[in-house]
Amino acid sequence: MSRMRDIVDVIEGSFQLVGGDFTNAGTASGELRTVLLKANVQQDITRRAAIAAFEAEMNVIIHAVAGTFHYVINREFVRITITDMGPGIEDIELAMQEGYSTAPDWVREMGWGAGMGLPNIKKNADALKIDSVIGEGTTLEITIHRKR
């Protein structure tokens, strides 16, 4: 029975994200964290997924107009896919560098825009895919493998 559960159990969830909506910042990644804790996913996996998800969620709120946050948890991995409508990332390699940020002053005054989001996502993910089209938007696919 427990093996059966192992094979069929998939948990998924989706959220809408709104650019500039700092009031609800962290809602999507916070729910993912809660779900991972309830599902008894290994602590380190939960922590890494929550950090990466939070940074990616914040990037939509800081840099884009709107987006969707989707997560899948199965026995193999936790995967977070975040797609936004926004300016896109002109130079992904540059954006990945620690401390690089185009966040405007008013965002920095709120304490965001340290340029550590993407590097942190990279650090915490086992796999990170970034697709971005200038003037259209960005998609991040973050995967964290569950060690068994």
Ligand X SMILES: Nc1ncnc2c1ncn2[C@@H]1O[C@H](COP(=O)(O)OP(=O)(O)O)[C@@H](O)[C@H]1O
Please, what is the minimum distance in Å from the beta carbon of residue 61 to ligand X? 9
Of 14-22, 42-50, 109-117, 123-131, the segment contacting Mg ion by CB under 5 A is 109-117
Cβ closest to Mg ion, residue 11 vs residue 128: 128
Token couple for 128:
């990170």
3-class secondary structure per residue, 57-98: HHHHHHHCCEEEEEEEECCCEEEEEEEEECCCCCCHHHHCCC
Residue 103 binds which entry of ligand X, Mg ion, none, CB below 5-8 Å type-dependent: ligand X
67 binds Mg ion (CB under 5 A): no
User: Which of Mg ion, ligand X, none has residue 64 at its interface (CB below 5 to 8 Å by kind)?
Assistant: ligand X
Whose structure tokens read 């609800």? 24
Examine residue 143 and tell whether it contacts ligand X (CB under 6 A): no
Backbone torsions φ then ψ of 33, nearest 5 degrees: -60, -45
Partner that binds at residue 28, options Mg ion, ligand X, none, CB closer than 5 to 8 Å by kind: none
Interface residues for ligand X in 88-127 (CB under 6 A)? 88-89, 95, 100-103, 113-119
- The answer to whether 26 touches 12, Cβ cutoff 8 Å, is no
For the chain, how big is the Rg over CA atoms in Å? 15
Residues 131/87, Cβ–Cβ less than 8 Å: no
When asked if residue 132 is in the footprint of Mg ion (CB under 5 A), the reply is no
- 59 touching Mg ion, by CB under 5 A: yes
Find the binding residues for Mg ion in span 24-53 (CB under 5 A): none
Residue 30 sits in the site that holds ligand X (CB under 6 A): no
- Nearest-5° angle of CA 52, CA 58, CA 61? 150
